[in-house]
Structure 1
């Protein structure tokens, strides 16, 4: 039974509760209190360091992260042009490995590239025409591939657009390599995954250290798939190979609609939690569905109308699953509220409906949430405006920009609230750093120095709760989120005191150690 003393332990019980000592037995906290009350000569000395409950990222994409970790970051500050991207991809360990090895990258944003355009199949073919190349756009909705990747996916000039996605073409009709939105990107992902299932398992297992070094002990997989294989099987095999974070899988609704066998499971390590619905795209990609048009004159893309959303919700009710709904634009969010605000919640242990991102929220929407019969959660990511401020300034009207990432207003609403990363779906080299996200929520400062709606800033304790106690409730990680008796002995030791350091240093916080079930795992 390990005991710990001389720490600054944030219990997660509320904003102000701290302790200095604790005991863990059989993987669970059995006692927490003052070091003076602990009589154990073998207690582990925390040397005054700050301790938090294990962090929870309830909206991330571990399969994408696993791909990205052995891929190439095509993000600022190192990649700022297509030429930079080509050079970076040539430095990939996969480069030159032969036609069965994919060269992978992630994170490009055409607005941040010197050429101010999306790279094309021709740009990637300059790197290789014999090895397939696949690069995620920063939002992970869209991507680009070279001619070999498109060949393996069976994409030609005559391939029809998948429902909800768009295959880019040059003016002469030839595919230009740009796969716009998730349905199109999946054509390349399925070709890549079908080639090496064991490679995907190995990548997942190897990604475990990445989460642990960020202090993340539990995750929500927001892109569960049935094709080319079941994501549950991927996770089961990855856990056997050493993947440690507790995981909840949300399956893309289009792949499971009508599947009566998909039901929630209760295993603490790995479980099926819900379904994922896409209402729209991203703001930086000008595909979030907005009430006011972008400068291009378009309002974005509506991927799910009210009728289809009601079908998805009815399916979730029948199967007793949670619904996580991707909605960035205000028009998309309004569809969700109008279609569901009057419905009776069907889950009692957590919100029945999660609105993911909720990037633009008006006062009227917040009032509608507060007056709703439905119990909502709002799960958002300030790291987006931190990394993509220019896109938000350029693409949104002044009023829409004022309504962007209203974190404080979300906390003050009736909805449950959590911070998350959506990693690796933002153009930043550390897309799932909890501390960059917390920094953005607390300071409202973008990487370019712009101050974004400072009235929506929150306190550090609230931001920490939004990575511990609150997401545990939203994501169904009922044994996590606190360091109080009965809860999991999962905690992180920080290299500095996040509660007292100057705000501009929060983004530089690092995890000194991560413990799961009372055992040091990082």
Structure 2
């Protein structure tokens, strides 16, 4: 029996806002006692702060795995197309041969000096022999160079996929810009089809990225069945050393029949992902009132189709996670779901991803909904994209943005998450930037978005631990209490005593899974 007691710490057990102890005892990977002294091997924490292992309920690990060896085309690193081209030239893949893809992520045309999206011609200046794939900040749209378009079979005759658009110039020639997820998938499938083994290796390498951010569990929000099943990717990655627990959500429109479902503690097929609309920064979020530009966004899933997906999820005991950013898209989810009976125990049957714009009346409807919907929201968006939000939203629309304190006031279950790498920031999935933004409402540009919606530090931590576990079905995580897995993070500094402006500077000193140290700063 392997027994350890961690003593002399400031340990936040996460049961509630005041739940602290100075010691925890771990046996065989589980918490067996809190507040006891002297059992088994003693590990002196020397006053360090300990949190339950952090959970990112909404992220894109496959994209992160690709991005880690690609170019971060985000502020403050990249601010123009020429800087983007230079960043792509400095990736390890540059010059490696015609079958090796060069990748980048995170650009937002509103933040580039040219105030436009890059094109295939811009990327062709980096290489015409190697394919190049570049994700926009929202991870809905993307750009490919001429070689990437060729490998995907895209030319002037290629029709737009349902729910997406292949942008073309006046002559009908594709510009390389692939608008929305369905169009981007044409490039992604061409890229992924080349090397399954490389995708597995990249995912394994990304494990340390999560651990150094204190993340012990993640929600994969873009599960795919083509060109291979995401479940297979994770199964093989675990065999080669991938560490964080994972919950896979398959894109609903790829699921037409029986689905292979794994339900182990470490790896689960947890649900279906539905896209109701696009993004605010792309002016494709579905709006009740038009954007100031006159656009009203795009509707990607009808109410009838959402009902069909819910019926499949109910039959197969899967959670439904619905991407909805615009208030009209969120309202459609509420209208379809609010009077339904829940079908899952211990976690919400339906969760709304982002819920970026919420009116008072919508908050009341969410609170009163029979199905008990939850919200997974991302303060990193307004932190990194203040300029876009102010440019694309009216003053009244902006007042509805990321109403986190209001969610808490209405007792609506919510978690904080990242949607990484789908935002223009070089550290998109740092929980500590998420906590900083949720608490201070401060932005990278130096402004504030709805200061009165800020929440206390401890509530932000609960939204990355206890409440994230409830929402994502990580039943053995979320708190450091007897019976839970001994998954925790030891911090370099006490997050509870930091000035608000220093919260983003907090870093893990070490991350532990099952009572074993799996990452530490000194080994980095």
TM-score (norm 1): 0.98
Query: Following TM superposition, by how much is the alpha carbon of 1:340 offset from its aligned partner in structure 2, in angstroms?
Result: 1.1
Query: Following TM superposition, by how much is the alpha carbon of 1:414 offset from its aligned partner in structure 2, in angstroms?
Result: 3.9
**Is the Cα contact below 8 Å between 1:201 and 1:234 reproduced in 2?**
yes
Query: Following TM superposition, by how much is the alpha carbon of 1:392 offset from its aligned partner in structure 2, in angstroms?
Result: 0.5
Structure 2 SS opposite 1:317:
helix
Shift in alpha-carbon separation, 1:429–1:261, aligned structure 2, 3 A: closer
1:157-306 residue pairs with structure 2 within 5 A? 157-257=156-256, 259-263=257-261, 265-306=262-303
Structure 1 SS opposite 2:150:
helix
User: Who is 1:388 aligned against?
Assistant: 385
User: Who is 1:437 aligned against?
Assistant: 434
**Aligned equivalents of 1:413, 1:235: Cα separation in 2:** 37
Which whole-Å deviations, capped at 9, do the CAs of 1:464-493 have from their partners, x for residues lacking one? Answer: 000000010110000000101100000000
User: Who is 1:14 aligned against?
Assistant: 16
**Aligned equivalents of 1:421, 1:348: Cα separation in 2:** 25
**Aligned equivalents of 2:150, 2:259: Cα separation in 1:** 35
1:3 matched to 2:5 = yes
TM-score (norm 2): 0.98
Query: Following TM superposition, by how much is the alpha carbon of 1:260 offset from its aligned partner in structure 2, in angstroms?
Result: 2.8
User: Who is 1:427 aligned against?
Assistant: 424
**Aligned equivalents of 1:249, 1:413: Cα separation in 2:** 29
**Aligned equivalents of 1:121, 1:171: Cα separation in 2:** 15
Which whole-Å deviations, capped at 9, do the CAs of 1:397-441 have from their partners, x for residues lacking one? Answer: 111100100001112224311000000000000000000000000
Cα root mean square deviation, aligned: 0.9
Structure 1 SS opposite 2:447:
coil
User: Who is 1:312 aligned against?
Assistant: 309
**Is the Cα contact below 8 Å between 1:108 and 1:427 reproduced in 2?**
yes
Stretch deviating more after TM superposition (486-495 or 370-379): 370-379
Equivalent in 332, 335, 349 of residue 332 of structure 2: 335
**Aligned equivalents of 1:363, 1:262: Cα separation in 2:** 40
User: Who is 2:149 aligned against?
Assistant: 150
**Is the Cα contact below 8 Å between 2:5 and 2:40 reproduced in 1?**
no
Q: Which blocks of at least 5 consecutive residues in structure 1 are unaligned?
A: none
Shift in alpha-carbon separation, 1:94–1:261, aligned structure 2, 3 A: closer
**Aligned equivalents of 2:223, 2:259: Cα separation in 1:** 15
User: Who is 1:111 aligned against?
Assistant: 110
1:479 matched to 2:479 = no
**Aligned equivalents of 1:451, 1:106: Cα separation in 2:** 25
Which whole-Å deviations, capped at 9, do the CAs of 1:194-243 have from their partners, x for residues lacking one? Answer: 00100000000000000000000000000000000000000000001110
Q: Which blocks of at least 5 consecutive residues in structure 2 are unaligned?
A: 520-524
Structure 2 SS opposite 1:268:
coil
**Is the Cα contact below 8 Å between 1:260 and 1:319 reproduced in 2?**
no
Query: Following TM superposition, by how much is the alpha carbon of 1:348 offset from its aligned partner in structure 2, in angstroms?
Result: 1.7
